[in-house]
Amino acid sequence: MDPDSLVITDVSPRDGLQNQSAHVPAGAKVDLVLRLAAAGVRSVEVTSFVSPKTVPQMADAAQVLAGVQAALPALRASVLVPNLRGLARAQEAGACEVAVVLSATETMNLRNINMNLATATAVCEETIVAARGAGLATRAYIAVAFECPFEGLTDPIAVRSLCERMLQAGAQEVVLADTIGAAAPCQVTRLLSDLRGVLPLDRTAMHFHDTRGFGVANAWAAIEAGVRRFDASVGGVGGCPFAPGAAGNLATEDLVLLARQSGLETGIDMDGLRDAVEFAEAQLQRPLGGRSMGWYRALAQ
């Protein structure tokens, strides 16, 4: 991993759109990915093979993945799968990279997927093992890695144990997720320190939400700790239904601007991101944009 560059996975087509009330058709989702790629984004989480009844916005997963792969065969296009059934659907659709999500607390798993922590961990392990056996690339999210909306601060020992288990199962990248946007930079620094010796930095990614306005600050704390892989969502689209008042995900444009002004390369163009933000605004019929987008739009006038 080049210490002078960041690898950014834009998760707006999946994490950003999955809980939106406005229906976004498959063609528009593919178009959003095309715009992200045109801006220089090389890694996108394009959809989720979850139950269409549970997440209607992702009912067109196979269609979206097919459209993206046909138009952008070189793009690193990952998909979320909740279990072996979702993995089978993803494989049938031609997925090359999959991700699983495991919450780090008992209550979050029960409230989110109606499984206890032990069962959810086993499901993620067997899904990763099967995916690796099929030759697919794998990511594993550790959700609520900093704080749980039901249990409060998350025990770092529990996070450490789950990271170990996901790596042992075959996860090639572990994503530490501040799912409700509750972390502060000192907590990011502390958790990454606690995970030394277990989770290699070159297999670590961070997924921040901006609920309390700390998204960019938390990203900087992770950068200073040596992390170079990040999730972000163009326009800040997203948010967690368990986080009241959530502002959304860390905006891709804010992270790209932070990198640019800090001497780190991303290969991503701000003008292209502005185009993607405006397209997403038209689809969701509401204003979008990270904390830097108002300034950047004014600059471009």
> Rounded to whole angstroms, what are the CA distances from 74 to 61, 70, 77, 205, 268?
19, 10, 9, 21, 16
- Alpha-carbon gap, residue 80 to 140, rounded angstroms: 9
Nearest to 217 by CA among 188, 179, 253, 260: 188
> What is residue 301's predicted lDDT score, i.e. its pLDDT?
76
Strand partners, 120: none
Place of tokens 């804010």: 254
User: 3-class SS at 104?
Assistant: coil
Q: Please state whether beta strands 152-153 and 147-148 pair in parallel, antiparallel, or not at all (unpaired).
A: antiparallel
* pTM across the whole model: 0.96
pLDDT of residue 2: 83
Grouping H, G, I as helix, E, B as strand and the rest as coil, residue 243 is: coil
Residue 213 burial (CB count, 10 A): 10
| CA-closest candidate to residue 288, choices 7, 17, 8 | 17
| Tokens matching residue 194 | 């606690």
Q: Summarize pLDDT for 206-223 with one digit per residue, the tens.
A: 999 999 999 999 999 999
- Cα gap 197→178, rounded to integer Å: 21
Residue 244: its pLDDT value, please? 61
Rg of the chain (C-alpha set): 18
Class of domain 7-300: alpha beta
**Residue type at position 296:** Y
Domain boundaries, the chain: 7-300
Pick the closest to residue 124 from 166, 95, 161 (CA basis). 166
Q: Which of 124, 148, 163, 240 is catalytic?
A: 240
pLDDT score at 239: 78
The answer to whether 240 is a known catalytic residue is: yes
Can you spell out the DSSP letters for 168-217?
Answer: HHT-SEEEEEETTS---HHHHHHHHHHTTTTS-GGGEEEEEB-TTS-HHH
Going residue by residue through the chain (301 aa), what tens digit of pLDDT does each one get?
788 999 999 999 999 999 898 999 999 999 999 999 999 999 999 999 999 999 999 999 999 999 999 999 999 999 999 999 999 999 999 999 999 999 999 999 999 999 999 999 999 999 999 999 999 999 999 999 999 999 999 999 999 999 999 999 999 999 999 999 999 999 999 999 999 999 999 999 999 999 999 999 999 999 999 999 999 999 999 977 666 666 689 999 999 999 999 999 999 999 999 999 999 999 999 999 999 999 999 987 7
